[in-house]
Amino acid sequence: MPLTAVHAPTADPRATRRRGPRQCGPLSAAEADVLRIVADARTPVFVTVRQGGRRRYSYWRPLDSTTGRGGCYVALPTAECDRLHAAGRIALGEPLTDPARTTHRVTAVRAGTAEPAPTPARAARVRARAA
């Protein structure tokens, strides 16, 4: 079997190390948009897996008072989300199961690790007391 660029020896052995099931290459525009949404701690993203195996990645878009848009669930493109999951860029949390479906929280994975990125704690708002 001939050596390919992926299998050829290099000066730096880390240069050919795989970071998951797929080589981490550049993201498409759709994958970058999905990863941006998933990485935003203010936007919880979930995947719902139905009994037949159909998956739906979605998040809640809050109502924007200036434009009057939002206040609804938004579905993310399943193919791009599946590619990000296969590449190890997003991870699924603990399952919540009921008879018709299983739901997982979707989180972004830190670059170079298999751990989900930590979710920053929300800052508590301090309200001034009226005197």
Q: What is the pLDDT of residue 6?
A: 38
Tell me, yes or no, whether 23 lies in a domain.
Answer: no
Pairing of strands 45-50, 101-108: antiparallel
- Calculate what percentage of the chain has a pLDDT beyond 70: 65
Q: What is the pLDDT of residue 128?
A: 56
State how far the Cα of 100 lies from the Cα of 93, in Å rounded to an integer.
Answer: 18
Domain that holds residue 59: 29-108
Q: What is the pLDDT of residue 29?
A: 87
Q: Residue 15 has which token pair?
A: 């240069």
Tell me, yes or no, whether 126 lies in a domain.
Answer: no
Tell me, yes or no, whether 96 lies in a domain.
Answer: yes
The closest alpha carbon to 79, from 110, 34, 44, belongs to 34
pTM as predicted: 0.64
Q: What is the pLDDT of residue 13?
A: 41
Domain count along the chain: 1
Tell me, yes or no, whether 87 lies in a domain.
Answer: yes
Q: What is the pLDDT of residue 123?
A: 47
Q: Residue 73 has which token pair?
A: 């669930």
Q: What is the pLDDT of residue 79?
A: 94
* pLDDT tens digits along 65-107: 999 898 999 999 999 999 999 999 999 999 999 999 999 999 9
Find the mean pLDDT for residues 113-127: 51
